[in-house]
Chain A
Amino acid sequence: MIIRKTELTELTMKKNEKLGVLNIDSNLYKTRISSRFANRKPYKLIDPHMILSFIPGTVLDILVKPGQRVRKGDSLMLLDSMKMQNKLKSTMDGKVKTILVKKGDRVSKGMVLIEVE
């Protein structure tokens, strides 16, 4: 698409600035796309098999072993964070498949710590 730039907009826009396209209600607008919008994280469905750290912290203790049967709500791990011991609970009934961290590991928020099958 060739943009008929108006006199003044031309001054504002950097030379040969490439504009993006934003779709609002099926209308396609030529415009600058903010880096925040361009870099936004796509939404991911929550997978109950993956036990994630809901808070950053340090692994204090692991309460289960691979192969062990667990029920939804069972405590799997203790996470030391914000001067508190936080229990990490299973989000489903099943069997511990893999434990991806060990005692003393420092974990960031949203990291997969345990897989349940």
Chain B
Amino acid sequence: MAINKKIKELQEKREKMLLGGGEQAIEKQKALGKRTARERIMALLDTNSFIEYDLFVEHEARDFDMAKKSLPSDGVIIGSGTIYGAPVAIFAQDFTVAGGSLGRMHSRKITKIMDHALMMRIPLIGINDSGGARIQEGVNSLAGYGEIFFRNTISSGVIPQISVILGPCAGGAVYSPALTDFVFVVDNISKMFITGPEVIKTVLGEEISMEELGGARVHSEITGNAHFFASTEEECFDQIKKLITFIPWNNGQKAKAFEPGEPKREYNIEKIVPDDPTLPYDVKDVIRSIVDNSDFFEVMELYAKNIVIGFGRMGGRTTGFVANQPLEMAGVLDVDSSDKAARFIRYCDAFNIPIITLVDVPGYLPGVDQEHAGVIRHGAKVLYAYSEATVPKLTVIIRKAYGGGYIAMSSRHLRADFVFAWPSAEIAVMGPEGAANIIFRKEILSSEDPDGTRRKKVAEYKEKFANPYVAAARGFVDAVIEPSETRRFLMHSLNASENKTVQMPEKKHGLPPL
């Protein structure tokens, strides 16, 4: 039968295409510890869930003898599938085909799947592994990048966008990941930079390796470009899958609810926080003592560790956590931690995820470098993000809430819906030492025993003001609760705010201190 022959023809054509850049190129890819683009998609998506589009797309470039060259699928694979049953649109650049370089049709395939994701309101995952612009295609290649950036921006806050850097991602190409919600990197595989080591060497005479310039660690620890760091591609895919379970398909929905579970007993909330507010503890243990199954999924674990952000579930529902980390830099707010927190707050707000804030903040980090790095502008982002957020906002003041840090960390004044404080809370304009030094300066200086007087005055101040009751007397704190009551109060409040509605004044958009 004629149709059988045609089917056979289709199968042969497919097979040829599925080989991408050919066996030799695939071997090279494997030698670098990398999977091929299709293998990556298969590893990430549910078994047999992937359907590929545009397998037969060919480039139209004619200059520089390009007409003679065949580039299978034009170096990028697009399609859709599911992760734990949730639909996702996906593209993966194929480094085995012309180094995954981006030409006109390559970019058209990407924008096609982006349009699809936005139209269908499903998450978009982009796997980046590309040498950059396809130079032979000139300005067409630049146009392609621009079309991608535009769509990243328009889709921002509507559908979740995830970027996975599994190879080089250099020059203009880096701006697509930078515009998306979450960037995943893998040690020794991911490389991101605007200008590479060679250019830096020629122009500036500075020598640096690709890994030191823009490797996975650099972007996870120093630049804050990456949100998740993994040692292998496999670990990276597990992280993506886990993230997908915490977030909704789009901004019109809530994340899928899970079976509720109690926190593990080993996380005993009463035994984590030392009484002395100058002593450290790991605030992640407090989070684990509150969330379902003690399962806390941290975001940006290695960057600005003095603030902790991430997802957990309360009674089966996804909740975002923002917490000062006394174990790192005393939990101060500074340029990087403000940036980190503000963006996460906005993410949660965009995707209907309630925010729980755990406060133990001594204030802002002093220093010329901080002031000159713009701690005013960056610090303001936190105030902006909390004030603007209309999702349920719950705050627990664990110990210190001093000065500007108190206001910034989801205080009543920024319209937190529920503010609870532990009996150990110290809500004050500044720490007792500093406050006593200012208020009782004259008395201390003129005293015969300045040190003794200072100690006395500090103790006096502590007694009078370093507690939750002054704020509670003003109604700035809704309830002073025992640590062991925290989960119950938070669950109750989350239930109560299920239908929270906020009317904001109409505007085109605000002007966050970017």
Contacts and interface: CB of A to CB of B under 8 A. Distances in A.
Interface of A: 3-9, 12-13, 19, 22, 24-34, 36-37, 40-41, 43, 56-57, 81-82, 106, 108
A24 B205 contact: no
A26 B327 contact: no
Given A56-B205, A56-B206, A24 B273 contact: no
A37 B331 CA distance: 13
B130 to A, nearest CB: 26
Interface string B411-434: 000000000000000000011111
Nearest to B431: A27
Interface stretch (B100-108, B176-184, B362-370, B378-386): B362-370
Contacts of A28: 278
Interface centre among A22, A30, A31, A56 (most CB of B within 10 A): A31
A22 B332 contact: yes
B326 A31 contact: yes
A27 B454 CA distance: 13
Contact of A22 (B268, B282, B284, B329): B329
Contacts of B285: 8-9, 12
B437 interface: yes
9 contacts: A5-B274, A6-B281, A7-B272, A31-B327, A36-B222, A37-B365, A40-B367, A43-B372, A82-B203
Contacts of B322: none
Given A6-B274, A29-B330, A43 B281 contact: no
B368 A43 contact: yes
Contacts of B437: 26
Nearest to A58: B205
Contact of A26 (B206, B279, B434): B434
B280 interface: yes
Interface in B281-321: 281-282, 284-285, 305-306
Contacts of A6: 271-274, 281
Contact of A9 (B266, B276, B281, B430): B281
Contact of B362 (A19, A25, A57): A25
B246 interface: no
A48 B403 CA distance: 39
Interface of B: 203-206, 222, 266-268, 271-274, 276-282, 284-285, 305-306, 326-332, 362-363, 365-369, 372, 402-403, 430-435, 437
B400 to A, nearest CB: 9
Contacts of A36: 222
A4 B434 CA distance: 24
B193 to A, nearest CB: 17
A49 B274 CA distance: 53
Given A24-B431, A56-B206, A4 B276 contact: yes
Nearest to B267: A8
Interface centre among A9, A30, A56, A106 (most CB of B within 10 A): A9
B280 A30 contact: yes
List the 7 shortest-distance A-B pairs measured between CB atoms, nearest first.
A25-B434, A29-B330, A27-B431, A26-B433, A43-B368, A8-B285, A12-B282
Interface centre among A13, A22, A24, A32 (most CB of B within 10 A): A24
A39 B279 CA distance: 23
Contact of B272 (A9, A26, A34): A9
A111 B330 CA distance: 35
B205 A32 contact: no
Contact of B328 (A8, A25, A32, A57): A32
A29 B268 contact: no
Contacts of B431: 24-27
A106 B331 CA distance: 42
B40 to A, nearest CB: 33
B280 A25 contact: no
Given A8-B282, A9-B327, A34-B305, A108 B204 contact: yes
A29 B273 contact: no
Given A24-B332, A32-B305, 17 more contacts: A5-B274, A6-B272, A8-B272, A8-B281, A9-B272, A12-B285, A19-B280, A22-B332, A24-B366, A26-B437, A29-B278, A29-B326, A30-B278, A40-B367, A43-B368, A43-B369, A108-B206
Contact of A27 (B274, B368, B432): B432
Nearest to A29: B330
Nearest to B336: A36
Given A27-B433, A29-B362, A34-B305, A56 B204 contact: yes
Contacts of B330: 22, 24, 29, 31
Contacts of B280: 3, 9, 19, 29-32
A73 B30 CA distance: 58
Given A37-B329, A40-B367, A9 B282 contact: yes
B425 to A, nearest CB: 16
A12 B327 contact: yes
A28 B434 CA distance: 11
Given A24-B330, A26-B431, A40-B369, A7 B271 contact: yes
Contacts of A9: 272, 274, 280-282, 285, 327
Contacts of B267: 8
